[in-house]
Chains A and B, each alone.
Chain A
Amino acid sequence: MTVKVRGLDVALGGRPVLNGVSVSVPAGTWTAVIGPNGAGKSTLLRAILGLVPSRGEVTVAGEDLGALKPRHRARVVAYAPQTPNLPVGMTVFDYTLLGRSPYIPHLGRESSADRAVAAEVLGRLDLTGLAARPLDHLSGGERQRVVLARALAQQTSVLLLDEPTTALDIGHQQQVMELVDQLRLADELTVVTTIHDLTLAAQYADDLVLLSGGRVAAAGPPGEVLTRSAVAEHFGARVRVSPGPDGRPDLSLERPGRPERSGGSECSAGSADS
């Protein structure tokens, strides 16, 4: 389902964080929200979910998300936060089952259908073997997949992921991004992620939205948004942008004040997050 954000203003503690942000995410596509630290990326996701007070309009498939009851909204949009609270001692299965909350009557208990959905999601994410494992006994990569499992158990058509690859090594980053992409294609999900790693964003997202200072500085296909000048202006970083396979840009940092070495070590830009 198409996600449209129009003229979104958010102020937190009296300080404006987002100013007139408009974003359009076509159904079934993946949009990555990029931008320097403090640009308002996470706030944008939280405002879409209605977790922070905002002005403006957020619609999913033409329906005003703000007018929906929280339970109904949670059946349309699922969210995986950047630093999820993982209750100590709770099993992976029970955590995944939390994703069924919007379908369970307020004071009721989950049905066998809810349990089946949770088990199926765990199977899809290759987590069945960990179902009985407490959350505090998981590795970083497993944890990220478990959080994804809870979001998938909500069976929504829109998935909002806040920094899904933070704190993961490069192999697990790739694994999570591939997983999200396959789930998106299989279930026709509309995916919005915030992400720091610009090359990773460019490789997976259909569109990028560059937030800077609470405003949309650029939006469009990765090749158009990620230019050397844009990265210099908004991130204060010197990068070399080279067209990669299928036209997606590849970024590598240039060390200031040093002559270019051919075949020197390259690392993807933008992963320097403090």
Chain B
Amino acid sequence: MRPGRLGGPGPDGRAWSVPVREGRNGPVSARLRARPLLITAGLLVATLLAGLLVGAADLPFTGVVKALVDRIPFVHLDSGLGPVERNVLFELRLPRVLLAALVGGMLAMAGAGYQGVFRNPLADPYLLGAAAGAGVGATLVIVLIPGDPGFGVPLAAFVGALSGVFLAYVLGSTAGRMNGAATLVLAGVAVSSFLAAMQTFIQQIKAQELQRIYSWILGGVGTADWQQIWMVGPYALASTLVLLAHGRLLDVLSVGDEEAASLGLSASRVRLTVLIAASLATACAVAVSGLIGFVGIVVPHVVRRLAGGSYRVVLPLSLLGGAAFLELADLVARTAVAPGELPLGVVTAFVGGPFFVLVLRASRKQVET
């Protein structure tokens, strides 16, 4: 064996004296770097502000910023906004903007988590039956409770989403111990189509509610209020903390269950934890916004292409990028046909569909699983 050519230490065990940071082919190690983080965070702030400023009522930029800063404890600023403008800002726009960001962030981060668990960049947060489960829950409440069910729909969607995933997990882990991830995906497919059939059946017997059911399914944050945010906020925060803490472990998992085991890691334990957290994040999003597709695949993919494939990078940047993306989509949804509104799910799918095809074409070579 030749000694290290760069004059490093031989086999004597001394620490490497030259810290290698940038190699000829780019960064040596995948870590969350300041620049992509700042860019994504900046993008999110910009879209949030745009979301606050754009709408039927004209709000002045400086007034909005001042009114927001005024809300920081111990800071007092006169925003110059009238009571109606303040109401529009704090009771309509702000909750809507925050809810869109929360939904986008949760879906994108959950998607990244699912992709890590299944070692497949095409996995999405609805893979294991969260969407179909939520659909059954929401449809049942809409059909059974006449009038305005209030929190019934989000609650039922939340419970339905988690039940769908739980069902798929139980089915998948009892069906076979071998080939864990693949069995789980198959169980998810089975559960999803079963629940989707159930949802269709319920909705067919109560065809008069079709309009309401569809408007829920197509998704949106038009009815956002603070209560919804307080309702899902804690779960969103918890799942964010858990998922962000699992970035390195998902990287280890990328060598497969058996090699991960030889490195001392229980793949099934990591998989279960990440699945629970990602499903909780998905349930949060679905509960308050209905079924919004493509965010969970598109955003992590863009992040991966621009900032690298390590889950330490993909998870946090997906959270921020997903929030910014859905913020932008919601802006389009409520301005494109103003004063009407497009369903948010339609906007994301409109952008996401073609993009997805491009990604598929570009990553044809990489997807072997």
Interface size for B (C-beta < 8 A) is: 47
Contacts of A137 in B (CB 8 A): 25
Does B366 reach chain A (CB closer than 8 Å)?
yes
Given A85-B254, A132-B27, does the pair A51, B248 have CB atoms closer than 8 Å? no
Map CB proximity to B onto A59-103 as digits: 1 under 8 Å, 0 otherwise.
000000000011111110111010011111111011001110110
Within 168-200 of A, Cβ neighbours of B (below 8 Å) are at 178-179, 182-183, 186-187
A182 to B265, CA, bound (A): 29
Contact A120 B246 (CB under 8 A): no
What DSSP secondary structure best describes chain B's contact surface? Answer: loop
Q: By CB atoms of chain A within 10 A, which of B16, B28, B30, B251 has the most?
A: B28
Contact B264 A73 (CB under 8 A): yes
Contacts of B1 in A (CB 8 A): 124-126, 178-179, 182-183
Given A93-B20, A106-B249, does the pair A187, B11 have CB atoms closer than 8 Å? yes
Does B175 reach chain A (CB closer than 8 Å)?
no
Contact of A101 among B27, B28, B256, B263 (CB under 8 A): B263
Does B33 reach chain A (CB closer than 8 Å)?
no
Minimum CB distance partner of B257 in chain A: A51
Contact B28 A93 (CB under 8 A): yes
Contact B262 A74 (CB under 8 A): yes
How far is the CB of B88 from the nearest CB of chain A, in Å?
Answer: 43
Contact B263 A74 (CB under 8 A): yes
Does A236 reach chain B (CB closer than 8 Å)?
no
Contact A85 B11 (CB under 8 A): no
Interface size for A (C-beta < 8 A) is: 60
Contact A124 B10 (CB under 8 A): yes
Can you identify 20 A-B contacts, CB atoms within 8 angstroms? A49-B261, A51-B262, A69-B264, A72-B264, A78-B262, A85-B256, A87-B251, A88-B309, A90-B251, A91-B27, A94-B251, A94-B310, A97-B29, A123-B3, A123-B6, A124-B10, A126-B1, A131-B28, A132-B26, A186-B11
- Chain B residues in contact with chain A, CB under 8 A? 1-6, 8-11, 13-16, 19-20, 22-30, 245-246, 248-249, 251-252, 254-256, 258-259, 261-266, 304, 308-310, 366
- Chain A residues in contact with chain B, CB under 8 A? 46, 49-51, 69-75, 77-79, 81, 84-91, 93-94, 97-99, 101-102, 104, 106-110, 113, 115-116, 119-120, 122-126, 128-129, 131-134, 137, 154, 178-179, 182-183, 186-187
